[in-house]
Chain A
């Protein structure tokens, strides 16, 4: 069984400050890990994904995440927050070895607020 824990349901940062959203996973097999962003009343947009290649993954909108197996973490960062980054962020894990039957398990989400 897989699970994802997102620490902090709400995170507030000042515009221009570092964004750090935390995600820890649990998986008995090598995981695929994803970060998604959701704007109000919209679906999810993929920010980035880890699929067992490079441990530092760069995504869209200046976001990146680092896979740390020893810490079972996949934290999302952005050096300088922008007002448009305000949204809900979800970390998700899937079973990378279960080809064709992978399911995404989502964390509970982190609401990011940007302070002007």
Chain B
């Protein structure tokens, strides 16, 4: 149980275009989803926290107009990287929590974004 999927697993896009990444909780309802960014050989940095039906809360330094997060349902959150640039190339990982028991986050497999 507690499986989180991400789609796509990898994507290549041209500079200036937008790309959407989906995060789904497959067998539970996720009251909260988190989006992280991981640079090569570095740790995860929290970008934003999204609660179903409300606006995402972005961490300091994260451009909310560039990284659009939508959490339209209890099983789906999307991250859209708008007007992507090569410096946006990274590994994006989402996680979801059930809101029950100990507040454990279940992580998706990640999405590798390369902007050319």
Residues of A within 8 A of B (CB): 32, 34, 36, 41-46, 49, 51, 90, 94, 99-100, 102-109, 111
Residues of B within 8 A of A (CB): 4, 6, 32, 34, 41-46, 49, 91, 93, 95, 99, 102-110, 112
Check A49/B44 contact, CB under 8 A, given A42-B109, A43-B109.
Answer: no
- B59's nearest neighbour on chain A, judged by CB, is A103
B83 CB, nearest partner CB in chain A, Å: 26
The answer to whether A107 and B103 have CB atoms under 8 Å apart is no
B113 CB, nearest partner CB in chain A, Å: 13
| Majority DSSP secondary structure for residues of B touching A | strand
Which B residues are CB-close (under 8 A) to A111?
A: 41
Which B residues are CB-close (under 8 A) to A34?
A: 104
Check A99/B103 contact, CB under 8 A, given A41-B110, A41-B112, A43-B110.
Answer: yes
Which A residues are CB-close (under 8 A) to B109?
A: 42-43
Which residue of A42, A43, A46, A109 contacts B43 across the interface (Cβ within 8 Å)? A109
The answer to whether A51 and B44 have CB atoms under 8 Å apart is no
The answer to whether B93 and A49 have CB atoms under 8 Å apart is no
